Structure 1
Amino acid sequence: MSIKVSSVSKTYKTQKALNEISFYANKGQVIGFLGPNGAGKSTMMKILTGFIKPNAGDVFVDEINVLQKPIEAQKIIGYLPEHNPLYKDMFVREYLQFRAAIFKIDKSKIESCIEKVGLTAEAHKKINQLSKGYQQRVGLAAAILHNPSVLILDEPTTGLDPNQLVEIRELIKELGKDKTVLFSTHIMQEVEAVCDRVIIIKKGELLVDKKLSELKENNQQTIIVTFDYKIEEQFVNRLPNIVSYKNNYDNTWYITFESEEDMRPVIFDFAQENGLKILTLNTENKNLETLFREVTSA
Structure 2
Amino acid sequence: MSIRVQALTKVYGAQNAVDGISFSAEPGVLGFLGPNGAGKSTTMKILTGFIPQTSGEATVCGFDVVTQSLEVRRRIGYLPESNPLYTDMYVKESLGFIAGIHQLHDPHKRIAEVIEQTGLGPEQHKKIGQLSKGYRQRVGLAQAILHNPDVLILDEPTSGLDPNQLIGIRQLIQELGKSKTIILSTHIMQEVEAVCSKVIIINRGKIVADDTLTGLRGKNNNDPLEQIFISLTAN
TM interval, short-chain normalised: over 0.9
Counterpart for residue 154 of structure 2: 153
- Which of the pair has the greater relative contact order for Cα pairs under 8 Å at 6+ separation? 2
Counterpart for residue 233 of structure 1: none
In 2, distance between residues paired with 1:192 and 1:206?
A: 19
User: Is the Cα contact below 8 Å between 2:120 and 2:139 reproduced in 1?
Assistant: yes
**Which structure 2 residues correspond to residues 58-77 of structure 1 after superposition, within 5 A?**
58-77=57-76
In 1, distance between residues paired with 2:76 and 2:182?
A: 10
Counterpart for residue 38 of structure 1: 37
Map Cα deviations across residues 176-231 of structure 1 (whole Å, 9 max, x no partner): 000000010000000000000000001101100010122345571xxxxxxxxxxx
**Which structure 2 residues correspond to residues 1-298 of structure 1 after superposition, within 5 A?**
1-27=1-27, 29-105=28-104, 106-107=106-107, 108-217=109-218, 220=221, 286-298=223-235
Matched position secondary structure for 2:82 = coil
In 2, distance between residues paired with 1:88 and 1:26?
A: 35
User: Is the Cα contact below 8 Å between 1:215 and 1:287 reproduced in 2?
Assistant: no
Matched position secondary structure for 1:181 = strand
In 2, distance between residues paired with 1:95 and 1:184?
A: 25
Change in CA separation of 1:219 and 1:56 when aligned onto 2, cut-off 3 Å: closer
TM-score by length of 2: 0.97
User: Is the Cα contact below 8 Å between 1:30 and 1:181 reproduced in 2?
Assistant: yes
In 2, distance between residues paired with 1:171 and 1:30?
A: 11
User: Is the Cα contact below 8 Å between 2:91 and 2:128 reproduced in 1?
Assistant: yes
Map Cα deviations across residues 221-266 of structure 1 (whole Å, 9 max, x no partner): xxxxxxxxxxxxxxxxxxxxxxxxxxxxxxxxxxxxxxxxxxxxxx
Amino acid paired to 1:64: F
Amino acid paired to 2:232: V
In 2, distance between residues paired with 1:64 and 1:205?
A: 24
User: Is the Cα contact below 8 Å between 2:220 and 2:228 reproduced in 1?
Assistant: no
In 2, distance between residues paired with 1:14 and 1:122?
A: 47
In 2, distance between residues paired with 1:69 and 1:191?
A: 31
Amino acid paired to 2:226: E
Map Cα deviations across residues 106-148 of structure 1 (whole Å, 9 max, x no partner): 2120011011011111111000000000000000000000000
Amino acid paired to 1:184: S
Matched position secondary structure for 1:16 = strand
Amino acid paired to 1:149: D
In 2, distance between residues paired with 1:127 and 1:51?
A: 24
Matched position secondary structure for 2:216 = helix
- Pick the structure with greater CA Rg: 1
Greater CA drift, 162-171 or 207-216: 207-216
Matched position secondary structure for 2:125 = coil
Q: Percent identity?
A: 58
Unaligned runs of 5+ in 2: none
In 1, distance between residues paired with 2:41 and 2:128?
A: 25
